[in-house]
Chain A
Amino acid sequence: MGVEPISSTQWPGGEAITTKLSEFVGWARKYSAWPMPFATACCGIEYMATMASRYDQGRFGWERPSFSPRQADLLIVIGTICIKMAPVLKRIYDQMAEPKYVISMGACASCGGMFDTYSVVQGIDTLFPVDVYVPGCPPRPEMLMLAYTKLQEKIQHESLVGRGA
């Protein structure tokens, strides 16, 4: 957080810290993103491992998964998205409340992965904008946690009038 401490000489009352309002709001929001895990394939098992006790994702404040787009801020697309699933995913993305973020977990969600076939959508960025791509097939839980921190930085430094504020 862009924080500049003011020494006691400038501020007679005592120490104080100043920051921009957007930094402050970003700091408050970044630890409470409710993820909606849209799990279809193998990466779902790695997501379960990230949620389980060894790689606990609750440390990032993202403990509470919501299975309906209405209460979700973050859509984690986990696994292969086929052409039959694409309209469902597009509808779920549209029905999420602003401000919404998308993590595309795994090679299949990010670019179709090893399945360059007739029935797989080659990357969910053909459907809607994606914030963080996580490489790997399946990505290790540590890579998913790195994606969390990357997204938190993005939320932190987002301007208030930015995308849907």
Chain B
Amino acid sequence: MSGEALKLELLDDLRSQFGEGITWSGMLYDMPTVCIRRNIHLQIVDWLKSSEKWHFNHFIDITAVDYFKQHEEYRYEVVVHLRSHSKNIKVRIKTPVPGEKPELPTLTTLFAGASWSEREVFDLMGIRFKGHPRMTRVLSPDDFEGHPLRKDFPVKGKHRGSFPRGTVISNKRREPVVGKKTKPDPLDHMMPTTVWEQQRAPMREEKGDA
């Protein structure tokens, strides 16, 4: 069976299996795509993986897209790509997620590869995954505020404006004191862990600083 017919047959199987759960299904540039409702996100991936006929066992990718102000009922869309090694075809599953409290069940129970990609989606887009073993940020520092890949997050970041070019971060206490051995300063353990905090530090009042 050629690739094309196989993909169409896959779409028919999915429609027959999850009739009303699927809002739209079709071929997008030679990739069978299925838009589903939020509640069957876990069941459809589980079915795809465990069905002997299709056996989608190769995890490809999880990512999310922020359709900001383009749809009323949902804002984000989580896109899952899977591949069946035996049949050598790929499938894309798109799940809409509302804007206020974006939440989805995690896929790590089915695919170990999903753990870090879901963490990345949480880190950059702010969509939480219930039941994820380590739901923390993976790419940004731990005390980073905001989710950068959202459309309303500026490219240059929110706090950077307060730091004029060339100001050397040298909080006085840490300046090496030549010659004298310094007592351990109790405040020293509070060295700002990330530049993030330093960048919010108020600018020193230079006289005539432009």
Contacts and interface: CB of A to CB of B under 8 A. Distances in A.
B165 interface: yes
Contacts of A158: none
A122 B178 CA distance: 29
A126 B192 contact: no
Nearest to A125: B166
Interface stretch (B21-29, B112-120, B148-156): B148-156
Contacts of A116: 155-156
A118 B169 contact: no
Given A83-B195, A118-B154, A118-B156, A123 B169 contact: no
B133 interface: no
B148 A127 contact: no
Question: Do most interface residues of chain A lie in helix, strand or loop, or is the interface mixed?
Answer: loop
Q: How large is the interface on B (under 10, 10 to 19, 20 to 34, 35 or more residues)?
A: 20 to 34
B109 interface: no
A93 B169 CA distance: 12
A18 B165 CA distance: 44
A51 interface: no
A119 interface: yes
B116 to A, nearest CB: 16
B165 A122 contact: yes
Contacts of B167: 126
A54 interface: no
B141 interface: yes
A94 B174 contact: yes
25 contacts: A83-B141, A83-B144, A84-B140, A86-B194, A86-B195, A87-B192, A90-B195, A94-B174, A98-B176, A117-B156, A118-B154, A118-B155, A119-B140, A119-B157, A121-B195, A122-B160, A125-B168, A126-B163, A126-B165, A126-B166, A126-B169, A127-B195, A128-B170, A164-B176, A164-B178
Interface of B: 139-141, 144, 148, 153-158, 160, 163, 165-170, 174, 176, 178, 191-196, 199
- In the A-B complex, the 5 residue pairs with the smallest Cβ-Cβ separation, listed nearest first, are A118-B157, A86-B195, A84-B141, A83-B195, A118-B148
